[in-house]
A = this chain, B = another copy of it.
Amino acid sequence: MGGDAGPAAILAGAAIARRRHPKVRFLLHGDEGVLKPLLTRHRALLKCAEIRHAPGVVHMSEKPSQALRRGRNSSMWNAIESVAKREADVAVSSGNTGALMAMSMFRLGVIEGIQRPAIAVIWPTMRGQSIVLDVGANAGCDASQLVDFAIMGEAFARAIFGIDRPTVGLLNIGEEEVKGIEPVKRAAHILRASKLPIEFCGFVEGDDIGAGAVDVVVADGFTGNVALKTAEGTAKLVTHYLRSALKRSFFGRLGAILARGALRTVRKKLDPRSLNGGVFLGLNGVVVKSHGSADALGFASAIDLAIDMASSDMMSRISSDRAGIIDVAEDPEATSNGAGKAQAAVS
């Protein structure tokens, strides 16, 4: 157990989450010698938490393959193991993303019909929040994987936003049918032909993400990761411009003091900690990767998210939707039948 803020922040986060969800019980995986004294500071948490000693730690610099080989006695492995054994419903970690994904895939397995899991993030928009996936689990993706992501992202949006029919868009470089790369165009074709119970809205462009044009934005892991990091870089750039412009004059400095509440609000909205890092979709189990730099409040939000996911029908929905799509992709003639079956199964 760790993250940049250390186990103290994680336990404080669990204590906050416990207040919000009084019925939840916690298995705390990590070094007992460290966790025990920390836990005594949180009396209420003490009653519904159990420490599971793990001597090992997965380091942030470790490669996924190394972690898989060497990390079997780590707190990360044990947390995933407890989900695999159904001791826990969800695992939340602020550790090494690649290692967490590798261990999750190895121990939990991928939902039947889904080729590869994806990492989804919650993206702040002008209209609230959207889901963007994949943001880095899969560098290159074919059309069928993009369709998987659309199904998983839609199920995730329903689970955590509580929307009946979230809108889904494929990230492209133009809204016209002729533009873009082949896998994206082909995925659009499959999603249209499938008649799945998904509100597919066609293509969206990079600026549509921040505008909140759709609830779910689907991209391959390369493009999604570039988009996410470019957005983070741009948000930093704008606040950097703002800070240096405000410092430059007396009125700027005075204005900044008066407007500091407003500026704090903006900073908070852009704070990656409030966005909970990445959520792994497509696994036979719920794994949430909290941001490495998350403080107690950030980690509590990650736990909230994991609980929302666990208490939804997300995984069965992904499974049944994917079953419908396979019919479509493999036998174009059977499109309407295949899709009809899947729709009936979920509605």
Complex Cα gap A229–B172 (Å): 10
Contact B266 A241 (CB under 8 A): yes
Instruction: Identify whether the interface residues of A are mostly helix, strand, loop, or mixed.
Output: helix
Write the nearest CB–CB distance from A263 to chain B, whole angstroms: 7
A22 at the interface (CB under 8 A from B): no
Q: A210-B234, A221-B173, A238-B238 are in contact. Are A266 and B245 (CB under 8 A)?
A: yes
Q: Which of A158-166, A176-184, A286-294, A318-326 contacts B (4 or more CB under 8 A)?
A: A176-184
A256 at the interface (CB under 8 A from B): yes
- Binary interface encoding of chain A residues 266-277 relative to chain B, with 1 for a CB under 8 A from any of its CBs, else 0: 100110000000
Complex Cα gap A222–B171 (Å): 10
Contacting residues of chain A (70-90) with chain B, CB-CB under 8 angstroms: none
Of all chain B residues, the one with the shortest Cβ separation from A220 is B181
Q: A126-B237, A236-B210 are in contact. Are A251 and B261 (CB under 8 A)?
A: yes
Q: A206-B226, A207-B232 are in contact. Are A262 and B248 (CB under 8 A)?
A: yes
A7 at the interface (CB under 8 A from B): no
Of all chain B residues, the one with the shortest Cβ separation from A227 is B230
Contacting residues of chain A (290-320) with chain B, CB-CB under 8 angstroms: none
A228 at the interface (CB under 8 A from B): yes
Number of copies: 2
Contact B238 A262 (CB under 8 A): no
Complex Cα gap A323–B286 (Å): 53
Contact B266 A262 (CB under 8 A): no
Of all chain B residues, the one with the shortest Cβ separation from A242 is B266
Q: A140-B181, A237-B125 are in contact. Are A229 and B252 (CB under 8 A)?
A: no
Contacting A246 at CB < 8 Å: which of B208, B219, B262? Answer: B262
- Binary interface encoding of chain A residues 204-226 relative to chain B, with 1 for a CB under 8 A from any of its CBs, else 0: 01111111000000010111011
A20 at the interface (CB under 8 A from B): no
Contact B235 A238 (CB under 8 A): yes
